């Protein structure tokens, strides 16, 4: 089949798969197929790369990736042809595509033997990064794991070959390849020579923001948060395109590392008609933000990585002017922002309030509480959990208020199905329809709405609240509450459980040691103190009823379920807090290293942290080949990061030491932790 024109290839494939005439003609009549250059076959969810040579003609300047589903009765599952076609339709980038010229440009950073090895990988289209470290074997990173590109270690010649083909490295050690979205990040040795490269594949993914479409369309300001590499930039790039092309808004992207619009002065088609402003130095991002508003009359502003107080202030100024703002920030959950003194203003700012005696006693003696200070800069918050799962907080203010008052916020969970493995497709599989069918689809977003952790005050019946709360925790884990019953017939207990409609979350246990609660008839328990003692020795909450009536049993079970739910919520909150503290500590260290220690070669003192977080920070600092010194003791212990130059030449006493605590009048664009009181000029 190799070497023939695309239509012919499709025909050959169709003949090979014994497709019917009608199917063949439907495929061929479809105008999209006149543009096909290359395709791969997914049969029964398995991937078979069918390699066709790409035409070298420059007429194929814009390529995109689409899928075609061919369905026939004799195949139990749909067949997918993932097709790379050329297009002239102004954008049209489809799911996860980086084939064609753009991938070739990235591969050309590698010696030919490595390119060939990488091309043989069956999931080439999923490639995330290529890692080239001096003296080590080169790796290609895929979601499924690392793939060794050569047994031979990388030499300086290899690195020079790669760097000679990319643009200039900016102060943040990042460079790009012109007219592509790839990001090349350098690691340098003490003398500034590049000894490592991380080459991140950039893709325009149409459909990646479909689940946020209605929020975007309604003019909401969106803050997307997520850990590094989870796909934040990819989503806001698509939102920029969506706003500009689909909703005809004047969109300006403030593109700090040229990651959204790609390298070079002509932006990548992945941003559609959105305009892009480049940022000469990352520490003046906030100024460019203000300039964008003042000079270019945008209706929407897109910005990747708000990390400093100055940027947060600029963002809130923009939001106050009624401009739709779509931005990203590092972090895992909204709690991370609330606890980050530089970024908390994005969610309205947090203040401590001292309560009067009466109010304090109503709140179990709590004298101070935390409250939101003012309106949030963003209307909605989106936690990006993975490339296929988003948690949408439609009212960021309500989320913050809920979290501050110890309640669970209501979130929407959006699951994104890719390559057609959507629930819709599954339904289609199960249909009894016998016709041949062709479906064009790009990434499809399936919105699964869950009113999680509904506030019990919202008037719902106890039973439904209970099942929502108990069957689903933040991570969607299904758990049972086990109850040990004594002196009451199991039939009565089951009747009560059924009546409360919570039989999917409560089980009667036969083993006291494996139970969550103990339910007994008062009169029986009084006569058997040893059973009482046993329940106590297992630390079980004990509930007694005077009679075996369903009403009394229900009351007791309700009390048990409420207690267990509260306990579980507390544990989850504690775990989340622990994990977010770690994220903050590492983020603080990372930003200090990347924004001050490496570029300015100045030491930075981090905030005091507990010992396990100090160790985590030290590990991270070592990964950057920098030195970390632990200063102070116990609760006051903190880390000082020493730049490479200071480890060679002893630090002069006049050398400035930054710290991530308050620095009045300091203009240090330090990080997400620093308190910088300046307002933008």
Ligand X SMILES: Nc1ncnc2c1ncn2[C@@H]1O[C@H](COP(=O)(O)OP(=O)(O)OP(=O)(O)O)[C@@H](O)[C@H]1O
Residues that bind ligand X (CB under 6 A): 96, 128, 200-203, 205, 208, 226, 228-234, 387
User: How deeply is 133 buried, as exposed, middle or buried, from its count of CB atoms within 10 A (0-12, 13-18, 19+)?
Assistant: middle
Write down the least CB distance from residue 306 to ligand X, Å: 12
Q: What is the 3-state secondary structure (H, E, C) of 401-421?
A: HHHHCCCCCCCEEEEEECCCC
DSSP state of 681: -
| Pairing of the two strands 604-605 and 658-659 | parallel
Tokens coding 66? 């689409």
Among all chains, which residue has been given the structure tokens 């220690």? 597
The closest of 320, 369, 326, 367 to 348, measured between CA atoms, is 320
Q: Which is nearer to ligand X, 418 or 515 (CB)?
A: 418
Q: Which is nearer to ligand X, 32 or 126 (CB)?
A: 126
CA dihedral over 105, 106, 109, 110, signed as positive or negative: negative
Residue 314 CA to residue 276 CA, distance in Å, equals 18
H or E element, residue 81: strand 79-86
Farthest-apart Cα atoms in the chain, separation = 92
Spell out the residues 6+ positions from residue 227 whose beta carbon is closer than 8 angstroms to its own: 330, 331, 332, 583
Write down the least CB distance from residue 229 to ligand X, Å: 5
Write down the least CB distance from residue 553 to ligand X, Å: 50
Write down the least CB distance from residue 113 to ligand X, Å: 23
Q: Which is nearer to ligand X, 202 or 261 (CB)?
A: 202
Q: Which is nearer to ligand X, 140 or 325 (CB)?
A: 140
388-394 CB contacts, 8 Å cutoff, 24+ apart: 388/415, 388/416, 388/417, 388/418, 389/413, 389/414, 389/415, 389/416, 390/211, 390/212, 390/414, 390/416, 392/211, 392/212, 392/215, 393/334, 394/215
Residue 372 CA to residue 368 CA, distance in Å, equals 13
Q: Which is nearer to ligand X, 183 or 275 (CB)?
A: 183
Q: Which is nearer to ligand X, 185 or 394 (CB)?
A: 185
Q: Which is nearer to ligand X, 131 or 201 (CB)?
A: 201
Q: Which is nearer to ligand X, 71 or 276 (CB)?
A: 276
560-563 CB contacts, 8 Å cutoff, 24+ apart: 560/481, 560/483, 560/516, 560/517, 560/519, 561/466, 561/470, 561/481, 561/502, 561/505, 561/506, 562/466, 563/517
Write down the least CB distance from residue 209 to ligand X, Å: 9
Termini Cα distance of the chain: 64
Among all chains, which residue has been given the structure tokens 């116990």? 634
Write down the least CB distance from residue 340 to ligand X, Å: 16
Write down the least CB distance from residue 606 to ligand X, Å: 21
Write down the least CB distance from residue 205 to ligand X, Å: 4
Write down the least CB distance from residue 171 to ligand X, Å: 17
| Pairing of the two strands 63-71 and 79-86 | antiparallel
Q: Which is nearer to ligand X, 108 or 299 (CB)?
A: 108
Q: Which is nearer to ligand X, 145 or 228 (CB)?
A: 228
Report the SS3 class of residue 209.
Answer: coil
Write down the least CB distance from residue 259 to ligand X, Å: 6
Write down the least CB distance from residue 586 to ligand X, Å: 13
Q: Which is nearer to ligand X, 40 or 233 (CB)?
A: 233
Residue 215 CA to residue 609 CA, distance in Å, equals 38
Report the SS3 class of residue 211.
Answer: helix
Write down the least CB distance from residue 271 to ligand X, Å: 13
CB of 386 within 8 A of CB of 392? no
């Amino acid at each position: 089949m190799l070497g023939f024109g695309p239509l012919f290839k499709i025909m050959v494939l169709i003949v090979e798969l014994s497709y019917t005439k009608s199917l063949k003609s439907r495929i061929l009549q479809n105008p999209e197929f006149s543009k096909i250059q290359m395709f791969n076959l997914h049969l029964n969810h398995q991937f078979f790369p069918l390699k066709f040579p790409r035409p070298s003609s420059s007429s194929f300047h814009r390529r995109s990736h689409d899928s075609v589903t061919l369905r026939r009765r004799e195949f139990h599952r749909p067949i997918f042809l993932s097709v790379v076609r050329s297009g002239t339709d102004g954008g049209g980038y489809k799911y996860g595509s980086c084939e064609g010229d753009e991938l070739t440009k990235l591969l050309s950073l590698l010696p030919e033997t490595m390119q060939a090895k990488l091309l043989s990988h069956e999931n080439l289209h999923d490639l995330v990064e290529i890692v080239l470290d001096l003296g080590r074997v080169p790796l290609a990173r895929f979601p499924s794991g690392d793939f060794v590109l050569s047994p031979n270690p990388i030499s300086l010649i290899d690195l020079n070959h790669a760097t000679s083909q990319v643009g200039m490295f900016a102060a943040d050690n990042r460079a790009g390849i012109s007219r592509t979205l790839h990001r090349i990040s350098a690691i340098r040795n003490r003398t500034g020579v590049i000894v490592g490269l991380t080459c991140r594949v950039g893709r325009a993914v149409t459909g990646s923001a479909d689940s946020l479409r209605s929020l975007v369309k309604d003019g909401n300001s969106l803050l997307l948060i997520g850990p590094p590499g989870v796909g934040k930039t990819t989503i806001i790039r698509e939102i920029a395109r969506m706003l500009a092309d689909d909703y005809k808004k004047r969109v300006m992207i403030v593109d700090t590392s040229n990651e959204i619009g790609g390298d070079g002065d002509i932006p990548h088609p992945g941003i559609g008609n959105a305009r892009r402003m480049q940022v000469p130095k990352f520490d003046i991002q906030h100024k460019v933000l203000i300039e964008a508003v003042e000079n270019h009359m945008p209706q929407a502003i897109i910005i990747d990585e708000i990390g400093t107080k100055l940027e947060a202030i600029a963002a809130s100024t923009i939001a106050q002017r009624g401009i739709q703002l779509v931005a990203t920030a590092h972090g895992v959950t909204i709690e991370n922002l609330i606890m980050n003194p530089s970024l908390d203003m994005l969610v309205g700012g947090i203040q401590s309030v001292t309560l009067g005696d009466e109010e304090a006693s109503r709140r179990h003696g709590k004298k101070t509480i935390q409250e939101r200070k003012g309106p949030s800069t963003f209307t909605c918050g989106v936690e990006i959990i993975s490339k296929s799962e988003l948690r949408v907080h439609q009212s960021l203010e309500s989320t913050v208020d809920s979290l501050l008052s110890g309640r669970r916020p209501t979130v929407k969970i959006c699951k994104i199905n890719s390559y057609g493995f959507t629930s819709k497709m599954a339904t289609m599989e199960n249909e009894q329809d016998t016709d041949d069918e062709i479906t064009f689809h790009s990434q499809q977003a399936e919105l699964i709405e869950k009113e999680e952790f509904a506030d019990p005050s919202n008037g719902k019946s106890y039973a439904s609240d209970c099942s929502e709360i108990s069957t689903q925790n933040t991570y969607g884990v299904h758990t049972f509450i086990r109850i040990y019953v004594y002196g009451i017939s199991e039939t009565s207990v089951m009747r009560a459980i059924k009546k409360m409609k919570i039989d999917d979350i409560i089980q009667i246990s036969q083993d006291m040691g494996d139970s969550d609660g103990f339910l007994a008839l008062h009169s029986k328990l009084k006569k058997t103190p040893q059973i009482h003692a046993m329940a106590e020795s297992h630390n079980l909450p004990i509930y007694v009823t005077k009679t075996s009536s369903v009403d009394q049993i229900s009351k007791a079970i309700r009390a048990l379920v409420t207690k267990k739910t509260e306990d579980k919520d507390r544990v989850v909150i504690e775990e989340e807090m622990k994990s977010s503290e770690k994220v903050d500590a590492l983020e603080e260290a990372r930003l200090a290293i990347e924004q001050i220690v490496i570029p300015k070669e100045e030491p930075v003192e981090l905030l005091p942290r507990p010992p396990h977080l100090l160790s985590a920070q030290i590990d991270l600092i070592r990964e950057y080949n920098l030195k970390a010194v632990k200063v102070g003791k116990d609760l006051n212990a903190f880390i000082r990061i020493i730049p490479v130059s200071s480890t060679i030449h002893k630090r002069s006493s006049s050398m400035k030491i930054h710290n991530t605590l308050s620095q009045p009048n300091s203009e240090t664009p330090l990080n997400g932790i620093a308190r910088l009181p300046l307002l933008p000029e």
